[in-house]
Amino acid sequence: MSKVIVAIDGPAGSGKSSVSKQVAREFGFAYLDTGAAYRALAWATLNGLSFERLAANDFETDFEYSISTDPDNFWVRVGEHDVTEAIRTSLISETVSSVAALSHVRDFMKRLTKKIVDECPYDGAIVEGRDITTVVFPDAQSRLLLTASEEVRLQRRSKELSADSASAVVNQVSKRDETDSKIVDFMNAAVGVTLIDSSNLDFDQTVSVMIAQIKADLKASAQ
Ligand code: DC
């Protein structure tokens, strides 16, 4: 039987990771953070994988990637290395957009995402990332775009990355959104994708709104 797919897109700081994780718990589904694979590949280029090989599309055999889909036990590995924490640094955040801009990398990530979802031991998956509703799973049973005003997103992001100064975060998030949005339009909901604006919602309220929308979508798709 094929799995239920809930696809969630959104810009940096929209809260999509923490919200998606909680939604996955409530449905008893897998949680897949697709940005982690782009970050892990960026980490690999800073730890032995040459950018030339990446650019020449000769990297797949050297990039041994694995990720947990359990929302209560999250980890990311590249080969033997646990990179769960290492992929969240500012350096990775600065490097990752140039990795994500390569079209063959995006094709690879699309295949990788589908494989991870196929093989995960759950009946359904909450899959989040910049192009999930449009490119990777345009036929998902539920497709949501979680956003928030720029001001709110910057505030949330600077709380997450407490080691960085607030102004560095502002620059980083704005710059990354600008670069990434040239590749994938994650700020505007595509046809069939429901926009959820969390600017005036707290975490629990956002989770409740998402769950209600997903239930309605799953009901409609079953008819
Ligand atoms: O969501 P994030 O900040 O962890 O994403 C890391 C980078 O990967 C970001 O630059 C956008 C990119 N990305 C993407 O292009 N497509 C995805 N499905 C997920 C992430």
Closest-CA residue, ligand 1 atom 20, reads 35
CA of 18 to the centre of ligand 1 (A): 15
pLDDT of 155 reads 81
* Residues 6 or more apart whose Cβ sits within 8 Å of residue 6: 23, 27, 29, 124, 125, 126, 127, 140, 141, 142, 143, 144, 214, 217
Closest-CA residue, ligand 1 atom 5, reads 35
CA of 130 to the centre of ligand 1 (A): 6
Closest-CA residue, ligand 1 atom 7, reads 35
Specify the ligand 1 atom closest to the Cα of 113.
18
pLDDT of 92 reads 95
Sequence ranges of the domains in the chain: 4-222
pLDDT of 14 reads 83
Mutate to test the pocket of ligand 1, among 14, 38, 98 (most ligand atoms within 8 A of CB): 38
Q: Which residues of the chain have pLDDT under 70?
A: 1, 160-173, 181-186
- Residues flanking ligand 1, CB < 6 Å: 12, 34-35, 38-39, 96-97, 100, 129-132, 176, 180, 184
Protein fold of 4-222 = Rossmann fold (3.40.50)
pLDDT of 183 reads 61
Mutate to test the pocket of ligand 1, among 20, 31, 39 (most ligand atoms within 8 A of CB): 39
pLDDT of 196 reads 95
pLDDT of 164 reads 56
pLDDT of 7 reads 98
* Coil, strand or helix at 50: coil
- Range list of H helices, the chain: 16-27, 35-45, 51-55, 90-100, 103-119, 150-160, 166-183, 203-222
What is the β-pairing status of strands 142-147 and 4-9? parallel
* Coil, strand or helix at 183: helix
- Residue 62, classified by CB atoms within 10 Å of its CB into exposed (0-12), middle (13-18) or buried (19+), is middle
Closest-CA residue, ligand 1 atom 13, reads 35
